[in-house]
Amino acid sequence: MGNIKSLDTLRHSAAHIMAAAVQELFPESKLAIGPAIENGFYYDFEINKTLTPKDLTNIELKMIEIVKKDYPFIHLSVPRTNVIKKLKTKMEKYKLEIISTIEENSLSMYQCGSFIDLCKGPHINKTGDLKYFKLLSVAGAYWRGDENREQLQRIYGTAFFTEKDLTTYLNQMLQAKKRDHRMLGKLLDLFSINSNIGGGLILWHPKGTIIKKTIEHYLEQLHISNSYELISTPHIASDKLFNISGHLQTYNEYMFAPMQIENNPYRIKPMNCPMHLTIYKNKLHSYRDLPIRYAELGTVYRFEKSGVLYGLLRVRGFTQDDGHIIVSPQDLEDEILTTFNMTINCLATFGFKEYKVYLATKPEKNYVGNLKDWLLAEQSIQNVLNRIHYPYEIDQGGGAFYGPKIDIKIKDAVGRLWQCSTIQVDFNLTERFDIYYIDSSGRKKRPFMIHRALIGSIERFIGILLEHYEGKLPLWLSPIQVTILNISKEQINYCKELLKKLQNHGIRANFNYKNANIGYKIRDSINQKIPYILIIGKQEQSKNMVSMRNTKTNKTFELMNIDTILSMLQDEINYKH
């Protein structure tokens, strides 16, 4: 299948080939941008017609022609004035706007056949190397993600190195349509996104909030039981903080523009770590205090372009189960092992038992820290992975510029891999914030820091859970765990008493008293993915009992004692079956 970086290269090249095909079929079309994305690629165009499924088929056929011609991808370095002159002739206004943000006098371009595009690369060697691809859909997109700018047409596609991988992905997409969390979110009334508030900003409805708060409560208790200290930090901070951390220099494109407070620039935070380190620096620490483990369900905000926003899976504001550990170098390996086991146990609680593990190592260049620390950190991670006897892959050069990491990708019910969990060593921020501890000899020593997220963005994780379970969440996560249905109005008072008893025992229950036949009410409860239905008729009421239906197994249990049901429900909730 190739490694992650080469797959990105293949897909980015596919976007270029698609752009070449579009401009052959629609010579007056204008090019915007065309990157590789998580599961494929896209390219934005201005075209004087609305593209149809037939157009998509014709573009794909034209791409096949270009692939068969096996044009080499040729890298060109062209004087800026020449590029501008040619683009003005072709009236490529979007590319000209991009160039206006580039200061270099010589611009990087790539050519395949007669098609030339502004691009830094890299690309595959020749168009013939793209063998397995598929165009998927067309959507609208605003230029620069700004709804006040031009509306373009975005063509999405995907590409893989093998036919098997492509077929598997297309089959997964068919399954995913049935499990789309956006559809389930609307059906179950969990969340919404409103244009008056803005793209990528989630409105959690009452039932969705119950799911989110249940997950957050579980995570808080999990951290406390694993010797973490819970902290809470502001949503905004002065630019001074992000200058110290280096985020203004290295992460600025994902940060929102500053706001002025008393003539000083402030930002909504994209990360929690600078504030966590500020708390650490508030007092002196000795070697006896380490490791110090901070955890926060911190809400952060990152500027994602509108074209990549996708329900809960790609948002601009999200709550992260953020943890930062300050640890001495000699204890690094043990702390990574403890963190890894905690992560796996957490994922298993949510029902994820299959995962792929990657060790991402030092980039070839543009990294910070000394080689001795990199070697120690990478060896510590490798020792941990060898100790747990779980297979892993090396993502050579895939570490962040500030340290190596473990990435854990979970496999869902339809075989898709999701990146959620990460355990990352950091040499950078401890240096920038001058973090130290006092060793046994009374000297200042620089610790290591571990960034880690067990499930990552809670918003994204809920989206994954909804699709994994097709909306039929485990009982402990279900916003409504039990619904009570009466067969006739004579059972209303008994049902109300039953509802109160369930709620007093911590069960999230409701009573559907609608004047409708019992068959309709049962179907409605099943459609709402409520795990258990309690059915009350004349016989149940007279015997002070209930009949219960499990909507996941479709089994009905007649005339059960309510205390027996309570015990069974509480056991299932407590053990998170």
451 noted as active-site residue = yes
User: Out of 320, 481, 491, 541, which one is annotated catalytic?
Assistant: 320
Candidate list 62, 451, 460, 529, residue with the active-site label = 451
Question: Does residue 521 carry a catalytic annotation?
Answer: no
Q: Is the peptide bond before 265 cis (omega within 30 degrees of 0)?
A: no
91 DSSP assignment: T
Written as one letter, the residue type at 574 is: N
C-alpha 106/C-alpha 99 separation (Å) is 11
CA atoms within 13 A on the CB side of 393: 11
Closest CA to 368 of 399, 401, 394: 401
- How many CA atoms lie less than 13 Å away from 154 in the CB half-sphere? 22
Sequential DSSP letters for 23-56: HHH-TT-EE----EETTEEEEEEE-SS---HHHH
- CA atoms of 342 and 322, how far apart (whole Å): 14
Catalytic residue selected from 322, 407, 412, 426: 322
CA distance linking residue 289 with residue 447, whole number of Å: 12
Catalytic member of 144, 181, 302, 529: 302
112: helix, strand or coil: strand
Out of 112, 119, 273, 420, which one is annotated catalytic?
A: 273
Classify 354 as helix, strand or coil.
Answer: coil
Residue 482 belongs to what H/E stretch? strand 482-486
- How far apart are alpha carbons 523 and 566 in whole angstroms? 23
Residue 509 in contact with residue 484, Cβ under 8 Å?
yes
Question: DSSP labels for 251-299?
Answer: SGGGSPPPEEETTEEEEE-S-SHHHHHHHHTTS--BGGGPSEEEEEEEE
Given 223, 324, 468, 549, which residue is catalytic? 324
Select which of 30, 405, 508, 549 is catalytic: 405
Provide the token pair at 181. 């969390």
Please name the residues in contact with 208: beta carbons below 8 A apart, sequence gap of 6 or more. Answer: 185, 189, 190, 191, 462, 479
Encoded tokens for 111: 């050519």
Residue 188 CA to residue 184 CA, distance in Å, equals 6
Q: Note if 302 is an active site residue.
A: yes
Residue 115: how many CA atoms within 13 Å on its side-chain side? 27
Q: If 0-12 CB within 10 Å is exposed, 13-18 middle and 19+ buried, where does residue 406 land?
A: buried
Q: d(Cα 482, Cα 529) in Å, to the nearest integer? A: 10
CB atoms < 10 A from the CB of 418, how many?
A: 22
Q: What is the 3-state secondary structure (H, E, C) of 364-426?
A: CCCCCCCHHHHHHHHHHHHHHHHHCCCCEEEECCCCECCECEEEEEEECCCCCEEEEEEEEEE
Q: Is the backbone peptide bond immediately before 122 cis, with ω within 30 degrees of 0?
A: yes
- Enumerate the active-site residues: 273, 302, 320, 322, 324, 405, 451
